[in-house]
A and B are shown apart, each in its own frame.
Chain A
């Protein structure tokens, strides 16, 4: 199968840009990335359909027809991408309405579990052991942990204040 190198190159650029953007925190950028990815994949379908040919209408031309199936698939994929992007934009707008930004947030429960784990480290027995061995490596760890916990506490509290419910 002969392949159009320009198409492959375009797919590469689109997918690379899309992947970079999808890794961003902001939902809008993620969506733009998704659109780029989707377009790259649609071009991939065109590549998959093989060499170009005449319009796939029976009897319209004597030339070799292009394969219509991947085009139908790409068309379906375009429609789906459009719908999902619209929903994603609505989601980004709603996030912005609620929080003033559209960053993807960390999970509240995850940070709660993390906080609990950190509290376990800070339990009395842990400190005692540490104090009895002041010369050991890492004896200064509790103070760092302390700061971390405090910072995390603040982080956790702040989104709750702006809770509109």
Chain B
């Protein structure tokens, strides 16, 4: 193996961290910070693309950092799954960064230190990459902590009352999940003497079955909190919506998916023999149904989207729970689709907020006439989310439903039924938002005692008629780019499904990953 070329694996972690340091050094100049952030993330996008190509053509790319043997030191591995998620996540991160320039988030309130946003954002990106690439549990934990620490800062950006309240819930839940993760890692180490994902399967298999089950349940519990799987999802809709739009968008797109990725990785690589099918299928079905019922009840676009986020995590878990190759392939495709679409929708919600000063459906109306571009930007990803053909959401759901019916037992069929019903309810929820915000005229008799929560300018109650703000190009163009990208996923669905299936093959086969990690032992 060409050793030098496989060092690209390090780029997605190192370059953003380096960029973050430079951004701090150039904290005085917003312009220098912007240039550094864009260059750093662009390098990561290119590197991730190269990684995906190499991982697809040549097999998993592994690097043992510092030359330590894999089961002692830190190894970073990019197989097809990691590389694919890395590509999508960095593209999404880059577009959100561009969007944030447009919003002038760095000038957000005079209390906010000007220099904080960019370094934190880059650290978040490094954390996400580290989590996707790490080949041992403890490094996964460190990756999680890097992205969590960055997310704590981002979610409380500006330190307003609403954000501190929402951030507090988020921080506490994350702290508890981190402690659980640490306990699980210590337990895994005590039982097996390693935390390397490639070395674990054999040693785990040698353990008594109850011990295996305890370890697996503890890891799943940890990742389920991060991925917001019912009944561990209650924190998400409370904490996401109040953050600034770009922050919510990148959180919604990436952070829960890192949890989903960890579940896929642990389930396929470490515990391939006991998929806990019934438990996970029940959790998946409940996540889908409870999440979407929450979305239907909401009257704020951002909160509605947060609930659909929870609900659609259920689809991915459904694919994982089936524990078949088709299920994994469907889940991977769905993750890629959902990262893009959910981020795009939150960016649009940010645009709506910028345009009107609120995202409360009670206060919105008639936007289709006032802002036709915005209407299209909302409509396309919303229909995509609901799974209307021919969008990628439809293809992802179709793949999952096919995988479910192929399994052929009653629980899988229940999951398929729930998936169909939830997709219908998603359509209802986003159509409700569309109708009230864009289609019907604004209700003049708004309940004035409804406080404007989470507004961009909470003290002003701008309405469409009061103040016509043009959509700033800096915000609209990155949103447009992301919406176009999500549509492009439909056009390029053939190759994408191909990659997802090959990634699922690799996961089920397991040996390429294990050989790549352990093969380099000097």
Contact = CB atoms under 8 A, between A and B. Distances in A.
B72 A69 contact: yes
B459 A165 contact: yes
B179 A37 contact: yes
Interface stretch (A43-51, A134-142, A144-152): A43-51
Contacts of B149: 80, 83-84, 87
B187 interface: yes
A94 B162 CA distance: 12
A41 B459 contact: no
Nearest to B189: A48
Q: Most chain-A CB neighbours within 10 Å: which of B161, B162, B167, B450?
A: B161
A34 B77 CA distance: 32
Interface string A16-27: 000000100001
A110 interface: yes
A interface majority secondary structure: helix
Given A95-B164, A108-B162, A76 B142 contact: yes
B1 interface: no
A1 B156 CA distance: 45
B145 A98 contact: no
A69 B189 contact: yes
Contacts of B459: 165
B353 interface: no
A122 to B, nearest CB: 15
Nearest to A153: B449
B161 A41 contact: no
B505 interface: no
B278 interface: no
A87 to B, nearest CB: 5
A76 to B, nearest CB: 7
Contacts of A77: 182
A54 interface: no
B386 to A, nearest CB: 22
A49 to B, nearest CB: 8
B402 interface: no
Given A41-B183, A44-B183, A104 B169 contact: yes
B172 A104 contact: yes
Interface in A71-124: 73, 76-77, 80, 83-84, 87-88, 91, 94-95, 98-99, 104-105, 107-110, 112-113, 116
B168 A109 contact: no
A78 to B, nearest CB: 11
Interface string A27-49: 10010001001100100110111
Given A48-B189, A84-B149, A91-B156, A113 B164 contact: no
Nearest to B303: A109
Contacts of A22: 172, 176
A87 B171 contact: yes
Q: Most chain-A CB neighbours within 10 Å: which of B145, B148, B186, B297?
A: B186
Interface residues of A, number: 42
A62 interface: no
Contacts of B212: none
B165 interface: yes
B40 interface: no
Interface string B449-466: 011010000110000000
A76 B185 CA distance: 13
Contacts of A110: 238
Given A70-B189, A109-B303, A91 B183 contact: no
B21 to A, nearest CB: 16
Contact of A165 (B171, B179, B458): B458
A27 B168 CA distance: 8
B175 A34 contact: yes
B153 interface: yes
B152 A48 contact: no
Interface of B: 72, 138, 142, 145, 148-149, 152-153, 156, 159-162, 164-169, 171-172, 175-176, 178-179, 182-183, 185-187, 189-190, 195, 238, 241, 297-300, 303, 450-451, 453, 458-459
21 contacts: A38-B179, A38-B182, A44-B186, A47-B190, A48-B186, A48-B187, A69-B72, A70-B189, A73-B186, A80-B178, A84-B171, A87-B149, A87-B152, A87-B153, A94-B156, A98-B159, A99-B161, A104-B169, A110-B238, A112-B299, A164-B161
Ranked 5 nearest A-B pairs via Cβ: A48-B190, A107-B238, A44-B186, A41-B182, A105-B165
Given A80-B149, A84-B152, A104-B168, 18 more contacts: A27-B172, A38-B179, A41-B186, A44-B183, A45-B189, A48-B189, A49-B189, A69-B189, A80-B142, A80-B178, A84-B145, A87-B152, A88-B175, A91-B164, A95-B165, A98-B159, A108-B165, A159-B161
